[in-house]
Amino acid sequence: MNLGTLWGIGVGPGDGEWLTLKGLRIIQSVDIIAVPQNNQGQPGMAYKIVRDFLSAEQTILPLYLPFVRDKDHLEQAWQKATSQLVPYLKAGRDVAFLSEGDISFYSTFTYIFQTLKSQLPDAKIDSVPGICSPLAAASVLQEPLAIGSEKIAILPAVYSLQELENALQWAEVVVLMKVGSVFTDVWYFLQEKGLLERAQLVEWIGWDKQKIYATLKEIEPTAKPHYFSILILRKQDSA
């Protein structure tokens, strides 16, 4: 059987011009573009980043990949999404799975990769890295993410302030992903530590509606930053 290749393509966090040359070449060369869909069943943010580079002849395949924590629900979604890819691959057609940010950095593609290997053990899979959101956030803030011997802690989401407390014990820079759901708790925690002026926040990185907060003192503690907001906390000046 001449199987097609499943490509995982990191498309960056927002600005379409951050897409790599290789990522663009692969995206424009395949027939099938697989994209996570939003709650309304429409192609989500990864698709919106690259849609101007796609042609009308390409097939867009939305995959339901929910943002939930229930393991059973997630595994069912991964199995169903992967089963939608298998017929194309068995027919020898290449598929590009688009992932916001980088393909290996908290990306759903990892679960699709693992599930496909269980459903189709001989599957051909390759990937193209993309710009991950902490690097993009540092760029728009015009600050280094880390320099010299600085250590970085990246927390995927702060479900416990103890995790943030622990990270501050050893890291000079702490990045909080998806901080919106816990923003109020984090704001008061940092206020207590005297670190509000050391924390910066970026909403909608790379999008037209991008917003930058130079310190958390610019934001009310009860604010509700967007789900994909990034908070970068630096305990000391990088100079």
Residue spans of the domains in the chain: they are 5-128, 133-234
The confidence score (pLDDT) of residue 136 equals 96
The confidence score (pLDDT) of residue 70 equals 76
| pLDDT tens per residue across all 239 residues of the chain | 799 999 999 999 999 999 999 999 999 999 999 999 866 777 789 999 999 999 999 999 999 887 667 788 788 888 999 999 999 999 999 999 999 999 999 999 999 999 999 999 999 999 999 999 999 999 999 999 999 999 999 998 777 899 999 999 999 999 999 898 899 999 999 999 999 999 999 999 999 999 999 999 999 999 989 888 999 999 877 65
> Chain-centre distance of CA 51, in angstroms?
17
Name the CATH superfamily housing domain 133-234.
Answer: Tetrapyrrole methylase, C-terminal domain (3.30.950.10)
Is 133-234 the same fold as 5-128?
no
> Chain-centre distance of CA 209, in angstroms?
17
Q: Does domain 5-128 have CATH number 3.40.1010.10?
A: yes
What is the DSSP code string of 151-164? -EEEES--S-HHHH
The confidence score (pLDDT) of residue 196 equals 96
Measured distance CA(198)–CA(115) in Å, rounded: 41
